[in-house]
Structure 1
Amino acid sequence: MIHDLPTESSTLGADIRALRKARGLTLADLGLILDRSVGWLSQVERGLSEPSITDLRGLAKALDVSVSSLFRSEAPENEQGMIVRATGRRPIGSRSAGLVEELLSPDLTDDFEVLHSTFEPGAEITETVTRPTQEVGYIVSGKLDLWIAGKTFSLNAGDSFRVRGEPFRWMNPHSQPCIAIWVIAPPVY
């Protein structure tokens, strides 16, 4: 399917729509949280209205993402929606201490999202995460300990894994950062 090149505001709106849907929220639900009309939210999602910085802060809080994840770097018009340069990745994700996640996908409008995850030495999540997703990860460098559905795995560079809605958590008890490419469907960030 061929799509028209997205504009910055329409991509922002599409990302907001994808995040809202991933959270199981209707326009009315989000409108109540933000004290904004369904009509205004619909216009934002369709790229017909541009939210203010205050609106973006409210949207980020309601959707449990960082404000910076809603911003994107300036990309040449002919690359928007298709190319993400290494210097143009958007920070996104759980914001857990010691974890830096950047969006490799141009936006959140696909059936999946691709993340570049850096797990710093000593980083871990202690609470189990369960998401209604299918996720595949590939360890580019370093090591990562992963628990999936009560099973423990020690992963090294070149190893990959899959999580299909099972509870999971991770830890990097090693002295080097772990770099992973993580694919999540549907997008959750």
Structure 2
Amino acid sequence: MSDLSPQTATLGADIRALRKARGLTLSDIAARLNRSVGWLSQVERDLSEPSISDLRQIAQCLGVPMSMLFAHSNVPADEQGYVVRAGARRPMGSGEEGLIEELLSPDLTDDFEMVHSTFAPQSRMQTPANRPTQEVGYMISGQLDLVIGGHAFTVGPGDSFRIRHEPYQWANPYDAPAVAVWVIAPPVY
């Protein structure tokens, strides 16, 4: 059984989880950063604190927005690793396509992550995605048009859907926002 102590919800633990989820070694990332493996190992063990420039490069190497590597310090110590308050969710992505996502999981150290997604009215995913993940979404409000593995669906409040290692695309051609909660394994953000 994994260690569920509050100390696991750290910047270093999240960097390690993201690196491993992408199948990258310490050497792979260190080489891309032009840093030593020892330095990166210390960052992952929270023994060394990366600069903002380092964080920007690490986020780029891991394919995540830099905001994913922040927001650990504002969590009360007794809640860290256990509770995520509504106003303290970590934002993910740029929102350019009309999708605003927030991490519901306390950190990225589990075998999965939970994400709150809001799809703006009249928005759509520009390029289909095909991630090496298993995902389940649950619609809270609004409607969403999905194409999963070549099959088209429209889902609404109370509906759920699954994506398993197959191409998918979403669109919200409607006049109201659509809100969904996703469970994604392994963590990708």
**TM exceeding 0.5:** yes
Per the TM alignment, residue 79 of structure 1 is displaced from its structure 2 partner at its CA by 0.3
1:122 counterpart residue number: 122
- Which secondary structure state, in structure 1, belongs to the residue aligned with residue 20 of structure 2? helix
Q: Which amino acid aligns with 1:181?
A: V
2:61 counterpart residue number: 62
- Residue 179 (structure 2) pairs with residue 176 (structure 1): no
Identity level (%): 62
2:104 counterpart residue number: 104
Deviations 1:56-114 (A, max 9, x none): 11111111111111101511110000000001000124744210100000000000000
1:153 counterpart residue number: 153
Give, in whole Å, the separation in 2 of the partners of 1:3 and 1:100: 28
- Root mean square deviation, CA, Å: 1.4
Give, in whole Å, the separation in 2 of the partners of 1:87 and 1:102: 10
Give, in whole Å, the separation in 2 of the partners of 1:129 and 1:167: 5
- Which secondary structure state, in structure 2, belongs to the residue aligned with residue 6 of structure 1? helix
Give, in whole Å, the separation in 1 of the partners of 2:121 and 2:84: 27
Instruction: Kindly tell me the number of residue pairs found equivalent between the two proteins.
Output: 187
Q: What 5-or-longer segments of structure 1 have no aligned partner?
A: none
2:51 counterpart residue number: 52
2:140 counterpart residue number: 140
2:4 counterpart residue number: 3
Are residues 85 and 149 of structure 1, via their aligned partners in 2, closer, same or farther at CA, if it must alter by over 3 Å?
Answer: same
Q: Which amino acid aligns with 1:132?
A: P
Q: Which amino acid aligns with 1:68?
A: S
- Residue 26 (structure 2) pairs with residue 27 (structure 1): yes
TM-score (norm 1): 0.94
8 Å Cα contact 1:65/1:94 also seen in 2: no
- Which secondary structure state, in structure 2, belongs to the residue aligned with residue 115 of structure 1? strand
Q: Which amino acid aligns with 1:5?
A: P
Q: What 5-or-longer segments of structure 2 have no aligned partner?
A: none
Per the TM alignment, residue 22 of structure 1 is displaced from its structure 2 partner at its CA by 1.9
- Which secondary structure state, in structure 2, belongs to the residue aligned with residue 57 of structure 1? helix
Per the TM alignment, residue 48 of structure 1 is displaced from its structure 2 partner at its CA by 1.1
Which moves more between the two structures, 59-68 or 80-89?
59-68
2:79 counterpart residue number: 79
8 Å Cα contact 1:99/1:118 also seen in 2: yes
- Residue 166 (structure 2) pairs with residue 166 (structure 1): yes
- Which secondary structure state, in structure 2, belongs to the residue aligned with residue 171 of structure 1? strand
Per the TM alignment, residue 20 of structure 1 is displaced from its structure 2 partner at its CA by 1.1
